[in-house]
Amino acid sequence: MLTFIDILINFCVNFADPMDFIPANIKPYLNFIHPPLMWILLATSLYAMYLGFQIRKTRSATGDEKKKLIQGKYNIRHHQIGSIVLAVMVLGSIGGMAATYVNNGKLFFGPHLLAGLGMTGLIAVSASLSPYMQKGMDWARYSHIGINLVIVGLFGWQALSGVEILQRIISKM
Ligand code: HEM
Ligand code: HEM
């Protein structure tokens, strides 16, 4: 009969190698969570970009057009979608590394890893500009736009290199 101490020792031994917690036949399937999640995130990011540029359009509009655009509540919607993009990008990137590590016992120091970590850092900086943008600071607005355009550009690259990685994984299964 297993005593509490046995369970505790078992836990501690396994904790030394957390990968043993995940059954071997489950591990390969972890490779199929990150790619579709990131494709959905790419679409969501493009939507966030659209909402962001609608904020600018609203600000520069006049008369009836302005009234109509204000009803779109683009600033609120952009902030909400932007926050989701921030959270999913950070967790999705960590998830990609976790899936890679669980299956290979290491990470691959290549362009997909570097661009992915770069984007994850940049989106944090971009989001941190929110209070300054809300105070109407132009430097924060232009930094936010510039950083996010770089992120969207890198995202296109990640989508292509990600599919290549996925094809390699499938061909080895
Ligand atoms: C857009 C579509 C994307 C696809 C199809 C894709 C696909 C993949 C695949 C197949 C892997 C190998 C591990 C796994 O299967 O989970 C991977 C790893 C990884 N991905 Fe992505 N990815 C995409 C976007 C992104 C983005 C946007 C980021 C970061 C913001 C990112 C960050 C990472 C990181 C850091 C790894 C670990 C790399 C390594 O250690 O080799 N990926 N990705
Ligand atoms: C793909 C990612 C994103 C793109 C392309 C983008 C783009 C933009 C653009 C073009 C603007 C208008 C700037 C101006 O007022 O002149 C803006 C504003 C703003 N963004 Fe983003 N953004 C992105 C992600 C985010 C994220 C992750 C957050 C925060 C979590 C965020 C929060 C804000 C806020 C608070 C504003 C100011 C809204 C206002 O004036 O009320 N954005 N963004």
134 lines ligand 2 (CB under 6 A): yes
CA of 19 to the centre of ligand 1 (A): 19
- How much is the mean pLDDT over the chain? 94
Span 157-168, pLDDT tens digits = 999 999 999 999
Residues of the chain with pLDDT under 70: 1, 14-18
CA of 99 to the centre of ligand 1 (A): 9
**How much is the pTM?**
0.89
- At residue 3, the pLDDT reads 82
- The pairs formed by 123-129 with CB atoms below 8 angstroms and a separation of 24 or more are 123/85, 123/86, 123/89, 123/90, 123/147, 123/148, 123/151, 124/86, 124/90, 126/151, 127/82, 127/83, 127/86
- Are 77 and 58 in contact by the 8 Å Cβ rule? The answer is no
Distance of CA 170 to the CA centre of its chain: 23
